[in-house]
Amino acid sequence: MTPSAFSPAVEALGQEMYQLASELFPICRSLTGAGVRQTLQTIGRLIPLRMHEVPSGTAVFDWTVPPEWNIRDAYVADARGHRVVDFNRHNLHVVNYSVPVRARMSRAELDAHLFSLPEKPDWIPYRTAYYERSWGFCLSHRQRLALPEGEYDVVIDSTLEPGHLSYGEYCLPGELPDEILISCHVCHPSLGNDNLSGIALATFLARHVATEPRRYSYRFLFIPGTIGSITWLARNQALVSRIKHGLVLTCVGDAGKPTYKRSRQGSAEIDRAVGHVLRHSGAPFEIQDFIPWGYDERQYCSPGFNLAVGCLMRTPNGRYPEYHTSADDLSLIGPRHLADSFATCAAVLAVLEGNHRCINLNPKCEPQLGRRGLYEAMATAQNARDPQMAMLWVLNLSDGSHSLLDIAERANIPFGLVREAADQLCQHNLLARLTESGEVSQ
Ligand code: ZN
């Protein structure tokens, strides 16, 4: 779907997603703590999210749930008491997960704890110290160069204590116990594309799915990156085999073209469904092979699980200069790009939902379509040839072994037309849908 082809409803959704991202932007999120809870509560006003709290120290595979981090204030003040770096001005100023500090030190001592980007002198970098008990401040390079010699008071009013790791989960039952997993991370502070765009899209996708008829059950996860998916997988091993398809959503709000990173399996149904939707979108896109780097797909696709979970992005992590800096703000993402990502996801889910196998009930030579009014039905369509070809392909390949996506791919026709042709043929008793086990469904 090209951006110009949006329905007004999808256009409006883009605005709503952007509004949610704007509301969540100021919150200082981290792996754990009050910022994550506040974020989940805000999402919980839009979808009935179930909150989970996992105690610090819980063993999750080879990892341990970390102590909970909370921060109230942090600053560097000069000798006159003037705050030269202030957490209240931007939450990226403090290295995320910094231990508490209250000290006076020289400019040189302070400098060992400062992080800036000489090549982007106006941007504040985003740094974390999750698993090393350290502290630091991030600031623009210009700001760093302007700090004169002298004594500085350094205060980080944080706590790093036994508490909980929080995550949110929303499950929507469908006809089947088989699940589609949608996962996004909620651990980045004031960053727009990497974090908030994925949260906004997952939230509004969940609302959309809730109003649609569903063959699949759905599970939406709002989790801190890496440790969150590891924790979820460790606590839900018995459920994991239900997950048939999945998407990690991140960096979905910028102006770049859609990028899809395949699952480790490489040609799973989700990989084929996303590829099909993007190929028929009429707009540029990119498809990448799986690599064990990126977001939570690394855990879902670890060999002990090997789930069919890919990652949908626009410009990937690390491939845009604003990535992990204060320039990845609300100006980098836009309602239209969020709407385009939403439309892509909704189209992918429609493929998965409608990807049945059918059986031709009149397989010996072509049935007479004209007698049944099926040629007329096709001729009124906007592009007469594709619907007609879709019908002939569906009849020809519905031998019980080809799915509708197989047929759409082989015919090079958009899935929606193939699905529509199959529905019409079913109505005229020329085709029957097969159940998962291969029986003719009633
Ligand atoms: Zn990130």
Q: pLDDT by residue (tens digit) across 407-434?
A: 999 999 999 999 999 999 999 999 999 9
- Output the pLDDT for position 375: 77
What spacing in Å lies between the alpha carbon of 380 and ligand 1's midpoint? 49
Q: How far is the CA of 250 from the centre of ligand 1 (A)?
A: 9
Distance 371 CA to ligand 1 centre (A): 59
Q: What is the 3-state secondary structure (H, E, C) of the chain?
A: CCHHHCCHHHHHHHHHHHHHHHHHCCCCCCCCCHHHHHHHHHHHCCCCCEEEEEECCCEECCEECCCEEEEEEEEEECCCCCEEEECCCCHHHECECCCCEEEEEEHHHHHCCEECCCCCCCCCECCECCCCCCCCEECCHHHHHCCCCCEEEEEEEEEEECCEEEEEEEEECCCCCCEEEEEEECCCCCCHHHHHHHHHHHHHHHHHHHHCCCCCEEEEEEECCCHHHHHHHHHCCCCHHHEEEEEEECCCCCCCCCEEECCCCCCCHHHHHHHHHHHCCCCCCEEECCCCCCCCHHHHCCCCCCCCEEEEECCCCCCCCCCCECCCCCCCCCHHHHHHHHHHHHHHHHHHHHCCEEEECCCCCCCCCHHHCHHHHHHCCCCCHHHHHHHHHHHHHCEEEEEHHHHHHHHCCCHHHHHHHHHHHHHCCCEEEECCCCCECC
Distance 324 CA to ligand 1 centre (A): 6
Measured in angstroms, how far is the CA atom of residue 401 from the centroid of ligand 1?
Answer: 42
- Domains of the chain, earliest start first: 3-66+165-354 (3.40.630.10), 70-161 (3.50.30.90), 357-433 (1.10.10.10)
pLDDT tens series, the chain, 442 aa: 444 467 888 899 999 999 999 999 999 999 999 999 999 999 999 999 999 999 999 999 999 999 999 999 999 999 999 999 999 999 999 999 999 999 999 999 999 999 999 999 999 999 999 989 999 999 999 999 999 999 999 999 999 999 999 999 999 999 999 999 999 999 999 999 999 999 999 999 999 999 999 999 999 999 999 999 999 999 999 999 999 999 999 999 999 999 999 999 999 999 999 999 999 999 999 999 999 999 999 999 999 999 999 999 999 999 999 999 999 999 999 999 999 999 999 999 999 999 999 999 999 999 999 899 887 666 555 566 788 899 999 999 999 999 999 999 999 999 999 999 999 999 999 999 999 888 998 6
Calculate how far, in angstroms, residue 127's C-alpha sits from the geometric centre of ligand 1: 10
C-alpha of residue 391 to centroid of ligand 1, in Å: 46
How far, in Å, is the centroid of ligand 1 from the Cα of 369? 55
Distance (Å) from CA 195 to ligand 1 centroid: 7
Q: How far is the CA of 242 from the centre of ligand 1 (A)?
A: 28
